Amino acid sequence: MIVDTVPTAAARAPRADAEPRIRPAAPADLEALVALEQRCFDSDRLSRRSFQHLLTKGHAATLVAEQDGGLAGYALVLFHGQTALARLYSLAVDPAARGQGLARQLLAAAERAALAEGCAVLRLEVRADNAAAIALYRAVGYRRFATVLDYYEDHETAERMEKILTRGAGAAREVPYVAQSLDFTCGPASLMMAMAALDPDSPRDRSAELRLWRESTLVFMTSGHGGCGAYGLSLAAWRRGFAVRVFITDTGPPFLDSVRSEEKKEVMRLVHQDFVAEARVAGIPVEQRGLSADELAGFVAEGAVPVVLISSYRIYGEKYPHWVAVTGADERFLYIHDPFVDVDQDKTPTDCIHVPIARAEFHRMARYGSARLRAAVILTGKREESA
């Protein structure tokens, strides 16, 4: 969504002189917000339906600037599950109210809303040709961390920017981002990210993603294609010359309770047994225990890249196993690359890169199912014999 402070439509009226009042939006503001959107933007507009959803159901904060009995601007902030990441989805100021510093006031209010939600980082996208908006963001502490070509409806480039809102939120290491291309390839996508961080020549295309899935899938899971377990992922990394370690609380077949058919369960058991036998022959170290968030942070500090199983419930509200790559750590947070980009919720990779999660929250998140399975595949580098 566009984040803009430069006029794109004719002013409705002379500039108002009354001091604006910034407050949370209410459902009664819907029509005024839609009208304001029409006045502010020529393209990439939020629809009435989107505003209605965000005002009533969305995990978001919509702040409006009320002036002379009408709305002079708004800021819309999206939150990302139980993570410490917020996104400034849109900021708009009525053409008639520009030049008063209202955009800066709305931006400050958006940052306060993100902090109140427990967020450590606020991110946004802004048009690359919007020099005034970029200057504003830079002036108050935002930095560019990515450029996205052909992002807007008119094919304009977007600059992705972020601001650290809390003390202690640290920088994560450089890990190339890979979005999963299918519902069941979070494990391969996370593994590709970890391998690429340790070996820049490691492939990150879709063929590599599917090849990794074929090598590590348990064949069946729920009603769809099979997910990937820790043994299969570790073997796929080992075959590509990486040194790996596995930490897992249950060395039996994972995800069995996700299928009802005994025939399918038997297939999963056989596949898992083969993985275990291959890992033993390969000499992959396996420890039957889970890792704490502090231990994961320790591996990151040593230069390793953990690929960790989490339950998606605390991020997406749905109970399914999900793999992520841990990209960094500081005294308060772990940072992850989440391969799933939920486009149905208007998410972009901005919401999925170096996502900060409080250590205690990550520890609660990093278990799955009634057995509370904990699993992590730790990539520490290339093996000497394959380097």
Tokens of 121: 């980082």
> What percentage of residues in the chain have a pLDDT greater than 90?
73
Q: What is the pLDDT of residue 346?
A: 76
Q: Which of 163-172, 267-276, 283-292, 357-366 has the lowest mean pLDDT?
A: 163-172
pLDDT score of 10 more than 60: no
Residue 189 or residue 314, greater confidence:
189
pLDDT score of 11 more than 60: no
pLDDT score of 172 more than 80: no
- Return the beta strands (E) in 94-186 as ranges: 121-127, 143-148, 158-164
pLDDT score of 12 more than 80: no
Q: What is the pLDDT of residue 14?
A: 34
Burial 153-191 (b: 16+ CB within 10 A, else e): eeebebbbbbbbbeeebeebeebebbbbeeebbbbbbbb
pLDDT in tens, 83-92: 999 999 999 9
- Long-range contact set of residues 23-30: C-beta below 8 Å, sequence gap at least 24: 23/63, 23/64, 23/66, 24/61, 24/62, 24/63, 24/64, 25/55, 25/62, 25/63, 25/64, 25/74, 26/55, 27/52, 27/55, 27/56, 29/55, 29/62, 29/64, 29/71, 30/55
* Secondary structure (3-state) at 229: coil
pLDDT in tens, 121-132: 999 999 999 999
pLDDT score of 17 more than 70: no
* Secondary structure (3-state) at 120: coil
Question: How large is the average pLDDT for residues 181-190?
Answer: 96
Q: What is the pLDDT of residue 169?
A: 64
> What percentage of residues in the chain have a pLDDT greater than 70?
93
Q: What is the pTM of this model?
A: 0.81
Q: What is the pLDDT of residue 226?
A: 83
- 8 Å CB contact between 339 and 189: yes
Q: Which of 213, 215, 193 is closest to 203 using CA atoms?
A: 193
Residue 386 or residue 328, greater confidence:
328
Tokens of 118: 């427990």
pLDDT in tens, 266-315: 999 999 999 999 999 999 999 999 999 999 999 999 999 999 999 988 78
pLDDT in tens, 46-101: 999 999 999 988 889 999 999 988 999 999 999 988 899 999 999 999 999 998 99
pLDDT score of 367 more than 50: yes
What confidence category does residue 37 fall into, taking pLDDT thresholds of 50, 70 and 90?
A: very high
Q: What is the pLDDT of residue 222?
A: 65
The CA distance from 237 to 328, in Å, is 20
Tokens of 75: 């800021």
Residues classed as catalytic: 125, 137
Q: What is the pLDDT of residue 140?
A: 95
The CA distance from 203 to 182, in Å, is 17
pLDDT score of 134 more than 60: yes
Which domains occur in the chain, in start order? 21-164 (3.40.630.30), 186-386 (3.90.70.10)
pLDDT in tens, 195-230: 999 999 999 999 999 999 999 999 887 666 788 999
